[in-house]
């Protein structure tokens, strides 16, 4: 669908009153320290992100401003900063009563709802580290994450609680259930009853900048998902990228379409907007083209942060649909999570009359690092330029910087405010990211042009990006081989025009099983019900044997070459 990339095509700046006036000037003069006086720790030495997001606005006279506009098929509610302060205070007290202390892990496994945000903020207020879980996770995925983090409390809702294997989680003390029906099961507490009993006056737990804030589990190419730890200090970057990249002004109505189960839904669905004191729109329920346009229209959204797969689906729904809605309020559109096709950028310009600003970052980086700014020309297909204060480069495998147009490892000079501080329980894994002296190695390959714009090429490893969701092939393969018919499985990402990639599994069956369409469906459902719907392979191909190294590792690289009809390369390590 795309023409070859044109490094000279530019979509010029549209006049406007941007927070960041001159990118080059900011690059020369900006220092992270300049942001610090904005936070209370500058005076007290102690901080709490939930205070900075919510209470602070009440204390400074903005308590009646709408903080949250929530809607789904049933509910349509709004909450002021004062209401969110009081509700999160209550929940903080409830958690304290349950014995939660600073540093404890409180996980949130809830469908999107106002209560999710109340629970998130309340947990932060008592100094807990919040672990958000995507509601699509099934039992195995929930178990892995709660075991590894040794979570003390999980907040959930009635329809999801059945997927929490309480019996396998000795460290888990309480399951707080919103909408609890019937008699409480083991360790269960009613969210509503706890809230009812709790006081709305709370003594906030003031913490250090380097104390834990959120724990996001994410996939790599090997092993189980790893817990990426961020600390309160990340706020510096959440705030200033919200100001300069999202271009948030006080009167903005902002909508980030990501679920808080993913990092975009916390860094940019909670922290960036509320640190900037803007009204935050949350839409529950599934994606639908019409509902999304309706949300933009009905809430008069001004700043919209979304993802390429969604934009491709909206493009697929056509221009006619766009004309049925009044989208005139939207002044700034951004995208993250996967490569944004130049075609989509051009379509957006034509149909929405707005530029779509791509941004690049990762769970591990905690916040945006390479971006297109409203004050800067966009080159369609490019991720943009490094944020002021960020030193990004393309380096070879020895850490030497490469000249323009040469493809290499996308690396960032170590030490920005929102950089992850640990991989939970796994210091060796953490160190792998920093194996080249002074650099954080992203695992993405990219190149830079002579104007300093960065262009994404792909992953260096086997991590799959399907609809912007990171899926580790190992996790899917492990689930597949639990199925009685599966002897061996290898999983790859297969290019797809809408989803970026889809998951494809190559499977060798056990003795006594025959390939069939029914078996494919059964295996697909097995992953869907055991792990998560988005981790289930859309395509399955049965093979008598899978390519393996002599040490028995499935060679995904060979599977990928088969799939794409490319040469298989060096096979010297393959068993015969
Ligand atoms: C990919 C999401 C191309 C990339 C915030 C990265 C992108 C991974 C872009 C992180 C982009 C993210 N263009 N690819 N603008 N943004 N990616 O941790 O491969 O879920 O390493 O974080 O998504 O995915 P994660």
The structure tokens listed for 61 are: 């006279």
| Least confident span in 186-195, 253-262, 504-513, 565-574 | 565-574
- Residue 456 Cα to ligand 1 midpoint, Å, equals 10
Query: 280-304 pLDDT, tens per residue?
Result: 999 999 899 999 999 999 999 999 9
Q: Going by CA atoms, what residue is nearest to atom 12 of ligand 1?
A: 337
Judge if the beta carbon of residue 202 lies within 6 A of ligand 1.
no
So what's the pLDDT on residue 401?
Answer: 96
Residue with tokens 């790859």, as numbered in its chain: 492
| Residue among 345, 361, 442 whose CB has most ligand 1 atoms within 8 A, to mutate | 361
CA dist 246 and 334 (Å) reads 7
Confidence category of residue 1, pLDDT binned at 50, 70, 90:
very low
Confidence category of residue 571, pLDDT binned at 50, 70, 90:
confident
pLDDT at 3 over 70: no
So what's the pLDDT on residue 569?
Answer: 76
The chain-wide mean pLDDT, for the chain, equals 95
pLDDT at 576 over 70: no
- Residue 241 Cα to ligand 1 midpoint, Å, equals 17
Task: List residues bridging with 256 in a β-sheet.
Answer: 305
- Residue 359 Cα to ligand 1 midpoint, Å, equals 9
pLDDT at 393 over 90: yes
Ligand 1 atom closest to Cα of 358?
15
Judge if the beta carbon of residue 447 lies within 6 A of ligand 1.
no
Per-residue 3-state assignment (H helix, E strand, C coil) for 323-383: HCCCCCCCCEEEEECCCCCHHHHHHHHHHCCCCEEEEECCHHHCCCCEECCCCCCECCCCC
Confidence category of residue 165, pLDDT binned at 50, 70, 90:
very high
pLDDT at 171 over 60: yes
pLDDT at 426 over 80: yes
pLDDT at 151 over 90: yes
Per-residue 3-state assignment (H helix, E strand, C coil) for 473-506: HHHHHHHHCCCCCEEEEEEEEEEECCCEEEEEEE
Q: What is the mean pLDDT of residues 199-227?
A: 93
Q: Going by CA atoms, what residue is nearest to atom 23 of ligand 1?
A: 337
Q: What is the mean pLDDT of residues 328-340?
A: 96
- Number of C-beta neighbours around residue 569 at 10 A: 10
Query: 186-196 pLDDT, tens per residue?
Result: 999 999 999 99
Judge if the beta carbon of residue 462 lies within 6 A of ligand 1.
no
Query: How far from chain centre, in Å, is Cα 504?
Result: 22
What is the C-alpha R_g of the chain?
A: 24
- Residue 362 Cα to ligand 1 midpoint, Å, equals 5
- Residue 257 Cα to ligand 1 midpoint, Å, equals 16
Ligand 1 atom closest to Cα of 463?
19
Judge if the beta carbon of residue 338 lies within 6 A of ligand 1.
yes
pLDDT at 384 over 80: yes
- Residue 299 Cα to ligand 1 midpoint, Å, equals 28
Q: SS3 of 3, please?
A: coil
Q: What is the mean pLDDT of residues 199-218?
A: 97
The structure tokens listed for 17 are: 């009153």
Domains along the sequence of the chain with CATH: 23-30+233-459 (3.40.50.12780), 34-231 (3.40.50.12780), 463-564 (3.30.300.30)
pLDDT at 279 over 60: yes
> Please, what is the angle between helix 473-480 and helix 517-530, to 10°?
120
pLDDT at 454 over 80: yes
Judge if the beta carbon of residue 444 lies within 6 A of ligand 1.
yes
pLDDT at 58 over 70: yes
CA dist 520 and 507 (Å) reads 10
Judge if the beta carbon of residue 459 lies within 6 A of ligand 1.
yes
CA dist 550 and 453 (Å) reads 42
So what's the pLDDT on residue 549?
Answer: 80
- Residue 252 Cα to ligand 1 midpoint, Å, equals 26
> Between 5 and 95, whose confidence is greater?
95
| Residue among 261, 337, 338, 454 whose CB has most ligand 1 atoms within 8 A, to mutate | 337
% of the chain surpassing 90 pLDDT: 90
Query: 81-116 pLDDT, tens per residue?
Result: 999 999 999 999 999 999 999 999 999 999 999 999
CA dist 514 and 500 (Å) reads 31
CA dist 564 and 576 (Å) reads 22
- Residue 458 Cα to ligand 1 midpoint, Å, equals 10
- Residue 480 Cα to ligand 1 midpoint, Å, equals 26
CA dist 490 and 62 (Å) reads 54
Judge if the beta carbon of residue 339 lies within 6 A of ligand 1.
yes
**Residues listed for the chain:** 576
From residue 74, alpha-carbon distances to 71, 178, 195, 234, 255 in Å are 8, 16, 22, 35, 19
- Residue 117 Cα to ligand 1 midpoint, Å, equals 24
Half-sphere exposure of 349 (CA within 13 A, CB side): 16
CA dist 363 and 224 (Å) reads 16
pLDDT at 75 over 80: yes
Q: Strand 408-413 to strand 439-448: parallel, antiparallel, or no bridges (unpaired)?
A: antiparallel
Judge if the beta carbon of residue 363 lies within 6 A of ligand 1.
yes
Q: Strand 408-413 to strand 370-371: parallel, antiparallel, or no bridges (unpaired)?
A: unpaired
- Residue 363 Cα to ligand 1 midpoint, Å, equals 8
| Residue among 257, 362, 368, 467 whose CB has most ligand 1 atoms within 8 A, to mutate | 362
Judge if the beta carbon of residue 466 lies within 6 A of ligand 1.
no
- Residue 336 Cα to ligand 1 midpoint, Å, equals 7
Q: Going by CA atoms, what residue is nearest to atom 6 of ligand 1?
A: 362
């Amino acid at each position: 669908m795309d023409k070859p990339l044109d490094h000279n095509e530019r979509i010029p700046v549209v006049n406007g009153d941007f927070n960041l006036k001159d990118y080059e000037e900011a690059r020369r003069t900006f220092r992270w320290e300049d942001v610090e006086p904005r936070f209370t720790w500058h005076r007290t030495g102690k901080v709490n992100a939930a205070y900075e997001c919510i209470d602070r606005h009440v204390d400074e006279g903005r308590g009646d401003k709408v903080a949250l506009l929530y809607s789904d098929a049933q509910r349509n509610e709004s909450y002021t900063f004062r209401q969110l302060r009081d509700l999160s205070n209550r929940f903080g007290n409830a958690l304290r009563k349950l014995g939660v202390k600073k540093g404890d892990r409180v996980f949130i496994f809830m469908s999107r709802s106002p209560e999710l945000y109340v629970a998130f903020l309340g947990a932060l207020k008592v100094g807990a580290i919040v672990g958000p879980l995507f509601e699509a996770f099934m039992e195995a995925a929930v178990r892995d994450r709660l075991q590894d983090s040794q979570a003390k409390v999980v907040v959930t809702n009635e329809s999801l609680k059945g997927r929490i294997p309480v019996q396998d989680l000795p460290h888990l003390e309480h399951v707080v259930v919103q909408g609890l029906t019937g008699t409480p099961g083991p360790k269960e507490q009613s969210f509503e009853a706890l809230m009812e009993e709790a006081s709305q006056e709370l003594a906030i737990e003031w913490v250090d900048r380097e104390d834990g804030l959120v724990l996001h589990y994410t996939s790599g190419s090997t092993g189980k998902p790893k817990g990426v730890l961020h600390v309160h200090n990340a706020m510096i970057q959440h705030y200033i990228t919200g100001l300069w990249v999202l271009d948030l002004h006080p009167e903005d109505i902002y909508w980030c379409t990501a679920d808080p189960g993913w990092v975009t839904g916390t860094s940019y669905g909670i922290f960036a907007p509320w640190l900037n004191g803007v009204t935050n729109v949350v839409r529950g329920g599934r994606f639908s083209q019409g509902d999304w346009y309706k949300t933009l229209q009905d809430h008069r959204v001004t700043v919209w942060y979304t993802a390429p797969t969604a934009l491709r689906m909206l493009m697929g729904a056509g221009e006619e649909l766009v004309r049925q809605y009044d989208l005139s309020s939207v002044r700034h559109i951004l995208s993250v999570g996967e490569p944004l096709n130049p075609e989509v950028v051009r379509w957006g310009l034509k149909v929405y009359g707005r530029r779509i600003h791509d941004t690049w970052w990762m769970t591990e980086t905690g916040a945006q690092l390479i971006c297109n700014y409203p004050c800067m020309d966009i080159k369609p297909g490019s991720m943009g330029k490094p944020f002021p204060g960020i030193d990004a480069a393309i380096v070879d495998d020895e850490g030497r910087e490469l000249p323009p147009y040469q493809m290499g490892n996308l690396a960032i000079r170590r030490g920005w405010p929102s950089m992850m501080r640990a991989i939970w329980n796994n210091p060796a894994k953490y160190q792998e990211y920093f194996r080249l002296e002074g650099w954080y190695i992203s695992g993405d390959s990219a190149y830079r042009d002579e104007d300093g714009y960065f262009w994404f090429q792909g992953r260096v490893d086997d991590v799959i990006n399907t609809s912007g969701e990171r899926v580790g092939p190992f996790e899917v393969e492990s689930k597949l081989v639990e199925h009685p018919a599966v002897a061996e499985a290898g999983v790859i990402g297969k290019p797809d025009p809408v989803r970026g990639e889809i998951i494809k599994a190559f499977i060798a069956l056990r003795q006594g099983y025959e390939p069939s369409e029914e078996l494919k469906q059964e295996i697909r459902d097995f992953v869907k019900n055991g792990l998560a719907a988005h981790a289930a392979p859309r395509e399955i191909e049965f093979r008598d044997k899978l390519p393996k190294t002599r040490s028995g590792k499935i060679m995904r690289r060979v599977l990928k070459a088969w799939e794409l009809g490319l040469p298989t390369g060096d096979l010297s390590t393959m068993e015969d």
